[in-house]
Amino acid sequence: MTCPSADHDRDLIRDAARAAGEVLAGLFERGARSWEKSKNNPVTEADLASEKALEAVLRTARPDYGWLSEESPDDGSRLTARRSFVIDPMDGTRAFIKRRPHFTVSIGVVEAGRPIAGAIYNPLTDEMFDAAFGAGAALNGKPISVTGQSGLDGAKLLGDPHIFRSLAAEGATLESRNSIAYRIALVACGQFDGAVSPRPKSDWDLAAADIVIHEAGGLLTDRNGLPYRYNTDTVRCAPPLAAGPGLHALLRDRLQNSV
């Protein structure tokens, strides 16, 4: 199979994310039923409707690509295909339920364990973050980059203020957003200096954000500084840390010793 260029995949997933985002925005306006897939793991009609919209675009355009989505069973296609879509139809379901504008559509394209293109779309704020390998990252078509912040004093971080009190004690401010993909994208575009999380994530939470922040000059790793590999025998990822290079090293040191 001859794969399209990363830029062509970037165009495709950007269009797909926007189409799914329109579905989410409509259901946000009208209201959508919600329930728990498992304890403390909510899902809504909007998650499933977004997945259908993504499938209609992506599987039609790239039938040979593997598929991994939070809202459908893992069919194993991602383990044999050269490229795979790694998708969260709605990252930040709790924000949707609580009527907060902090949920996104997240689509990554993964090859050989690493993302080569990604799109993250917030339909309520109309923010489209996208990137392709070697081509930079953008917000609504304009190039973005991480900040040059290197110290905690005055740093603007995204993370739970109650859990990361030690970072606040050194002068950082912390805010919360439900969508981890959105948090990392906000770091990529320089609105925040870093993002920290105490809990493991899944491939679909991080794959798109990974390429976006890397193409914006930042780093996304686990707390040991190790990069993620996707489409392995597990979809679980150790707690993530995202920031520009200078601050990333400092946060890694603090988190290894305090959380």
What pTM value is reported for the model?
Answer: 0.95
Q: In the chain, list all ranges with CATH 3.30.540.10.
A: 6-143
The pLDDT value given to residue 257? 66
Q: In the chain, list all ranges with CATH 3.40.190.80.
A: 156-258
The pLDDT value given to residue 1? 55
Residue 105 confidence (pLDDT) above 80? yes
pLDDT tens-digit readout, 43-97: 999 999 999 999 999 999 999 999 999 999 899 999 999 999 999 999 999 999 9
Q: Which fold has domain 6-143?
A: Fructose-1,6-Bisphosphatase; Chain A, domain 1 (3.30.540)
Three-state DSSP state, 255: helix
Can you tell me the mean pLDDT for 208-220? 98
| CA angle centred on 122, ends 151 and 135, rounded to 5° | 65
Q: pLDDT over 90 for what percent of the chain? A: 87
Pick the CATH number of 156-258 from 3.30.70.270, 3.40.190.80, 3.30.70.20, 3.10.400.10: 3.40.190.80
- Sign of the torsion formed by the C-alpha atoms of 51, 52, 57 and 58: positive
Dmax over CA atoms of the chain, in Å, equals 53
Can you tell me the mean pLDDT for 239-256? 93
Residue 40 confidence (pLDDT) above 90? no
Write phi, then psi, for 77 (nearest 5 degrees). -65, -30
The pLDDT value given to residue 190? 97
- What does each C-alpha distance from 215 to 7, 17, 238 come to in angstroms? 13, 19, 21
